[in-house]
Amino acid sequence: VFLSHLFISQDKAVLFTDAGRLKAESAEALKAAGFEVLPYAQAADYLAGVKGALLIDPNKTAVGTLRRLPEDVRLIEAIHPSTFFKSVKSDADIAHIRNTMAEDGAALCGFFVEFEQILADGGELSELDIDGMLYKHRSKRPGFISPSFDTIAGYNANAALPHYSATPENNSKIKGDGMLLIDSGGQYWGGTTDITRVVPVGNPSAAMKRDYTLVLKAHISLAETIFPENIKGPMIDAICRKSLWQAQCDYGHGTGHGVGYFLNVHEGPQSIAVAAVPQPHHAMKSGMLTSNEPGLYRPGKWGIRIESLVINRPVENPEETEFGKFLYFETVTLCPIDTRLIDTKLMTGSEIEWLNQYHAEVRRRLEPLTEGAAKAWLIERTEPLAR
């Protein structure tokens, strides 16, 4: 993924980018495919020769890039068609994504058992240690290429900052009583992962467990939603927030963003965000990969976010109803949601049933990929929750 412009007409394709970004084999492959490559800075001058009509995405095109565009060119402002092509994954893509999520989940089993063992043995860990530990375990899995973004590891008050980044000058030791939030992901040949889990450290308070349970209830509310095909993503955000709103709580970020296939971890056009004005390009279509990540943040105290990726799938009815096609979310992220932080008195029977079914699937898919302490940890963390 690199900074560039691409001009496409009926008879040519011109890529404007810094030539230094292209290795010799990449340059040859582009040439063989019929692409012309020009310096990034020449894009504006090149557009001086355009005639007829030009489609540009206004969210991704600077005014300066169009400074030499002829006045008689008809400018069409719209999202580029490739954005929609990328957002709907094929059946082959989805099969690869499922396999990738299993590999990522197996890596996380290894990470968490090591993390818990270090703390149990009295060892010291800081927020800075988490990224390297995750990389060590992910890099052992088939198809792993790199992290998909910089890991967010926030302990207690630091987790209340949704985009917190630990630095050598500013980080916390993971000790005492509280909760650690870990938001991380990997780039694999078979897809892109993005997951957030919160784990207990020491003896978390009853207030922490209450907030964690409220976020889990919100996560489940969206995960089990059935919705009409083509509904605008922002319109279903409130479904997720219901349990939090009833407790007079909320969070300031969106609930879901699109995810690329071995591409950007944030990739549109879909968005599940209560603050977004619903637009036609927000339509939810079968095959889209989106995050489900409600949260709750108490400044100076703690922060909680539970995130899994979900794929829009068609409800398997023999035929369309008179109300059209409906979709549901298939949760494809495979990693236990820590039950030690749950206040079961706040959970309904159906919510516990959803969690137990999810954990049964996590165990079924990951058990063949784990062994030893990691497998024992997986089995323990996916034990059914009593009602």
244-272 pLDDT, tens digit each: 999 999 999 999 999 999 999 999 899 99
- CATH fold, domain 87-381, is Creatine Amidinohydrolase (3.90.230)
Class of domain 5-78: alpha beta
pLDDT score for 323: 87
Sequence ranges of the chain with CATH classification 3.90.230.10: 87-381
Whole-structure pTM value: 0.92
Q: Report whether pLDDT(319) > 70.
A: no
Q: Report whether pLDDT(336) > 90.
A: yes
| Mean per-residue pLDDT over the chain, rounded | 95
Confidence of residue 386 (pLDDT cuts 50, 70, 90): confident
pLDDT score for 387: 74
pLDDT score for 1: 74
Confidence of residue 57 (pLDDT cuts 50, 70, 90): very high
Confidence of residue 318 (pLDDT cuts 50, 70, 90): low
pLDDT score for 178: 97
pLDDT score for 86: 94
Residues of the chain above pLDDT 70, percent: 99
Residues of the chain above pLDDT 90, percent: 92
Segment 4-28 mean pLDDT: 92
pLDDT score for 320: 65
Which amino acid is it at 224?
E
Segment 213-219 mean pLDDT: 98
Q: Report whether pLDDT(59) > 90.
A: no
Segment 270-296 mean pLDDT: 95
Q: Report whether pLDDT(14) > 70.
A: yes
Which of 112-116, 166-170, 181-185 is predicted with the least confidence, judged by mean pLDDT? 166-170
Sequence ranges of the chain with CATH classification 3.40.350.10: 5-78
Q: Report whether pLDDT(343) > 90.
A: yes
pLDDT score for 274: 93
Confidence of residue 361 (pLDDT cuts 50, 70, 90): very high
Which amino acid is it at 194?
D
Segment 15-24 mean pLDDT: 90
Find residue 6's DSSP bridge partners: 15
Q: Report whether pLDDT(316) > 90.
A: no
